[in-house]
Structure 1
Amino acid sequence: MARKHSDHDQRDDGVLTPAKFSRLTRRGVLLGLSLPQLITLGAGVLSVVGALYAGGGVLLVYTAPVWVACAVLTWVPVGGRKLIEWLPVAFRWVWRVTGGQLLYRRTVVKPRPAGTLALPGDAANLREFLDLETGAAMIHDPHANTLTAIVGLSHPAFVLLDPGEQERRVTAWGRVLATACRSGRIARLQVTERTLPDSGTGLAEWWAEHGTDDGSWTATTYGELIERAGPAGERHATTLSLALDMKNSSRQIRTAGGGLRGAAAVLRQEMTTLVAALRAADLTPSEWLTPGEVAVILRGAYDPAIAATLERHGELGRDLATAGPVALTESWDHLRSDSAHHAVLWISEWPRSMVYPGFLAPLLLSTGIQRTFSLVCTPIRSDQAARDIRKKKTEYISDAAQRAKIGQIEDASQTAEYQDVLQQEADLTAGHGVLRYTGLISVSAPTVDELEAAVSAVEQAAIQASCETRRLVGQQAQAFAVAALPLCRSV
């Protein structure tokens, strides 16, 4: 999946300054054509040339289905993509359908291997590791070679702060991200913001602390009202996931003892640094999430109807071995698990114009919709970012020369992309970090009709936030595991 680039301004002059996201690069290998387009176009040209040399016009007519199909695959767009780009998606979908991979049913009688997570699809490879020093649940992904820890965050309402305070907090958050960029050992950061039915634990805790439960009729009635009123509300929960790149940290891991214990020791160092940076940014991190707390998040994502009950009763649903769904059925553009239907949207375009830091408020503050917004940040090493920028500049200059030779007019979007590359180069030279962003929105509802209505509302909210969203197809289950679960994975 293509990801967005963004640079973070480090100004702190007390004035709220707008920011700009880089455009999604759409340049191809040659003249705006991607490699699959060049292959199909080359096949079509070869069939035409071969027919003209071999049999002239008659053979050209006979081979018409070949070169016409190649032309259609190369240039005809469907859903924002050329037809040739849909072929891998369609092929993978057919392969999964014939292999019976769209259905997941938990085997109740046969227990899972110890330390594994009961998740469907490729997430079944994840392993649990308990860090005895911090009590944190660390999730090991053997395929991506990462080790992830999760921390909860609490913060004041950003949109209610004055502009000077907003600017100060944005600058402080930029320093948090810059810390991750300079480390060189961080694979990804994931910020997850979820809307949840209020379990009523806050009311219950207030009544237990301040109420007078003397057994009277008034006290009994008041306690019953608090017990029943909790799930009627809605609250927001934010987590930050930190993934250690075990490949880039191999030397430090060997020094710390090797294996998962050595990786956990290295990850603890990054966790300490991150917590200090978060507190400096006036964010309040909780303790790193335990296996039971992670299990509640995973279970609530796949079974939203039970989420409030799990939070009200702290002893239930605290086992990672049973935290996944009981059943999951994936369709082309949505999936169903346990008590809800889900759909995942990808933020394909961030704002192209200058926007202020609170531009996502229409999306994040929408009410009456059960959704999870995930922002996956991938730090790019300075040397790698410099090579990538040089490559883009070379490609743009060569494409511009080719267009000039054939008399093609320069497109304004191509010029804007080149200006974005130059701005990234200037920021990198000034010492700022480069991050790649992926924004995903998971929407859940009890029925398909309610899901479609919720998706439409989220799409409208994204338009108000100057963002463009696309509904992912053919990979909803994998995308849901990234968007709804704070496990720092990629899709």
Structure 2
Amino acid sequence: MPRTDDTTTTTGELVPVKFSRLTRRGLILGLSLSQMIALGIGGASLIGALYAGGGILIAYSAPIWAAAIALTWVKTGGRALVEWIPVCAWWAWRTTGGQLAYRRRIVAPRPEGTLALPGDMARLREYTDPETGAGMIHDPTANTLTVVVSVTHPAFVLLDPSEQHRRVTAWGRVLATICRSGRVATLQVLERTLPDSGQGLAEWWAEHGAHDDSWASTTYSELIDRAGPAGERHATTLSLSLDMKAAGRQIRTAGGGLKGAANVLRQEMTTLLSALRAADLTPSGWLSTGELAVMLRTAYDPAIGPTLERHGQLGQDLATAGPVAVAETWERLRTDSGYHAVLWISEWPRAMVYPGFLAPITLSTGIQRSISLICTPLRTDQAVRDIRKKKVEYISDRAQRAKIGQIQDASQTAEYEDVLRQEADLTAGHGVLRYTGLIAITAPTVEELDTAVAAIEQAAIQASCETRRLVGQQAAAFTAAALPIARRI
């Protein structure tokens, strides 16, 4: 979590911010539960061999304790080998169960109000708010109700430093508003690059063109009608998810059920809109079910996006907005007309950076991608307990390391200082948010996808970030990274 007070100065000058490190705490000496289990199995086999007679028995048991040591301390892809066991086991289970492929049953009827999405997203339900006309998505399992708003804003990198500082401070107030609510489950910021459909050109010609029977007018009209996507544009949405369990009392007071939840969510929507306008962000209105259907459809079928944009009445049905076919592999996902790969921002900048540090990623050209920042607010009491638990674990680990003569390294000291800084910020009245950054890259072919992924990884290096491809879980990661439904992973 960045230090909020690092971005506030009396002069209004833009100053760098610092992110907390990704914590790697464990039960004992930084070892996780799975590592402790593997080490315990290896130690039990070695001790048993020693007590049974030693010698040849130790050699016979060597494969067990040697494998346990390797599983505990050998790392690949940023994880210990033992931590890959659940991922591989779940992948094997889904492979044997035929869950890696999805084909829509065109002629099979679907329950009314459901979304035609693959996997566990088939449980999602749609609801239209009768007062605002906003399309809401209900997740009965996670017990959340989500609504989406489109936001426009000026180019941040083109503003002068004082204006950038003012906007960063104003955005901090928006996040503080979310933290103080206590009823918000998730706030998702989704920034996408889309091919420009030429709709603006067509609208300009319809308004200013000379519509006569001349050769020039006819030629221009034909060229505009046949014009395909040219360039790209950026679109930003905010998804606000209501925690229906935390807001249970207010929902019952408002009438109960989805109607009561919509009434409570409408209060949060009003508060968010006021905070956005105070931050000089321009909300374009809450998206209807038809607009949500177009977003979902273009995420799975990017080739049809320009057509849906130029013909506004097509594809505006959530019951048919899902993909026709999905095929998942270990490190990518294939849908109707595109290949996708999802990267996780595993490490935010460790050094001091300015607020526009993500510019190399957001301004990358020629790549269709979605950047999803999933913000999960923590209640103050929950944040206090979490920080207290972290402090106890770090102090206990330090004492244990000193007892066995192990030296405390700089990374552990830095993580403990991050905890102390978060405690100071919480004491000063700031909210605590947990961030998850995901980047979904889309391309028409596998070769173009690999090239685009390499370019985004290089851009992340320029932004002082570390990324990892979420292998074995690309389908779940894609729904969280590319769809505006505030899903967590």
TM-score range, shorter chain: over 0.9
Give runs of aligned pairs for residues 34-433 of structure 1, distance below 5 A: 34-433=32-431
Q: CA deviation at 1:426?
A: 0.6
Corresponding residue of 1:29? 27
| Secondary structure at the counterpart of residue 456 of structure 2 | helix
**Alpha-carbon separation, structure 2, partners of 1:186 and 1:50:** 53
Answer with 475-484 or 40-49: which moved more.
Answer: 40-49
Q: CA deviation at 1:230?
A: 4.8
**Uncovered stretches (5+) of structure 2, i.e. residues with no partner:** none
**Alpha-carbon separation, structure 2, partners of 1:77 and 1:161:** 43
Answer with 7-16 or 226-235: which moved more.
Answer: 7-16
Q: CA deviation at 1:215?
A: 2.9
Establish whether residue 11 from structure 1 lines up as the match of residue 8 from structure 2: yes
| Secondary structure at the counterpart of residue 329 of structure 1 | strand
Which residue identity is paired with 1:177? L
**Alpha-carbon separation, structure 1, partners of 2:240 and 2:399:** 43
| Secondary structure at the counterpart of residue 441 of structure 2 | strand
8 Å contact kept, 1:7–1:433: no
Corresponding residue of 2:484? 486
**Alpha-carbon separation, structure 1, partners of 2:228 and 2:329:** 34
**Alpha-carbon separation, structure 1, partners of 2:32 and 2:78:** 14
Q: CA deviation at 1:121?
A: 1.2
After superposition, give the CA deviation of every residue in 1:244-274 in whole Å (9 maximum; x if it has no partner).
0001000000000000000000000000000
8 Å contact kept, 1:196–1:236: yes
After superposition, give the CA deviation of every residue in 1:370-403 in whole Å (9 maximum; x if it has no partner).
1001000001111111111111111000000011
TM-score (norm 1): 0.98
**Uncovered stretches (5+) of structure 1, i.e. residues with no partner:** none
**Alpha-carbon separation, structure 2, partners of 1:161 and 1:111:** 52
After superposition, give the CA deviation of every residue in 1:263-290 in whole Å (9 maximum; x if it has no partner).
0000000000000100010000011000
Q: CA deviation at 1:70?
A: 1.0
**Alpha-carbon separation, structure 2, partners of 1:243 and 1:215:** 53
**Alpha-carbon separation, structure 2, partners of 1:223 and 1:230:** 13
Q: CA deviation at 1:17?
A: 1.4
8 Å contact kept, 1:201–1:230: no
Which residue identity is paired with 1:8? T
After superposition, give the CA deviation of every residue in 1:83-133 in whole Å (9 maximum; x if it has no partner).
100000000000000000000000011021111111111111111011111
**Alpha-carbon separation, structure 2, partners of 1:19 and 1:111:** 53
Shift >4 Å, 4+ stretches: none
**Alpha-carbon separation, structure 2, partners of 1:450 and 1:235:** 20
Q: CA deviation at 1:197?
A: 0.6
8 Å contact kept, 1:385–1:434: yes
Q: CA deviation at 1:408?
A: 0.7
Corresponding residue of 2:448? 450
**Alpha-carbon separation, structure 1, partners of 2:3 and 2:181:** 17
**Alpha-carbon separation, structure 2, partners of 1:439 and 1:474:** 18
| Secondary structure at the counterpart of residue 227 of structure 2 | helix
**Alpha-carbon separation, structure 2, partners of 1:86 and 1:76:** 11
**Count of aligned pairs:** 487
The match for 1:470 among 444, 447, 468 is: 468
After superposition, give the CA deviation of every residue in 1:280-307 in whole Å (9 maximum; x if it has no partner).
1000001100011000000000000000
8 Å contact kept, 1:7–1:432: no
Which residue identity is paired with 1:426? A
C-alpha RMSD of matched pairs (Å)? 1.0
Q: CA deviation at 1:28?
A: 1.0
Q: CA deviation at 1:67?
A: 1.1
What is the identity percentage for the equivalent residue pairs of Structure 1 and Structure 2? 74
**Alpha-carbon separation, structure 1, partners of 2:384 and 2:425:** 11
Which residue identity is paired with 2:84? W
| Secondary structure at the counterpart of residue 438 of structure 2 | strand
Which residue identity is paired with 2:359? A
| Secondary structure at the counterpart of residue 6 of structure 1 | coil
**Alpha-carbon separation, structure 2, partners of 1:268 and 1:220:** 49
Answer with 72-81 or 279-288: which moved more.
Answer: 72-81
**Alpha-carbon separation, structure 2, partners of 1:483 and 1:280:** 27
Answer with 69-78 or 278-287: which moved more.
Answer: 69-78
Answer with 216-225 or 302-311: which moved more.
Answer: 216-225
8 Å contact kept, 1:333–1:474: yes
Which residue identity is paired with 2:132? T
Which residue identity is paired with 2:8? R
Answer with 205-214 or 416-425: which moved more.
Answer: 205-214
8 Å contact kept, 1:200–1:227: no
Which residue identity is paired with 1:430? A
Answer with 307-316 or 217-226: which moved more.
Answer: 217-226
| Secondary structure at the counterpart of residue 271 of structure 1 | helix
Q: CA deviation at 1:232?
A: 1.6
Q: CA deviation at 1:14?
A: 1.9
8 Å contact kept, 1:6–1:436: no
Q: CA deviation at 1:6?
A: 3.4
Which residue identity is paired with 2:60? Y
8 Å contact kept, 1:122–1:478: no
**Alpha-carbon separation, structure 2, partners of 1:270 and 1:219:** 50
**Alpha-carbon separation, structure 2, partners of 1:244 and 1:215:** 56
Answer with 235-244 or 63-72: which moved more.
Answer: 63-72
Answer with 87-96 or 39-48: which moved more.
Answer: 39-48
| Secondary structure at the counterpart of residue 356 of structure 2 | helix
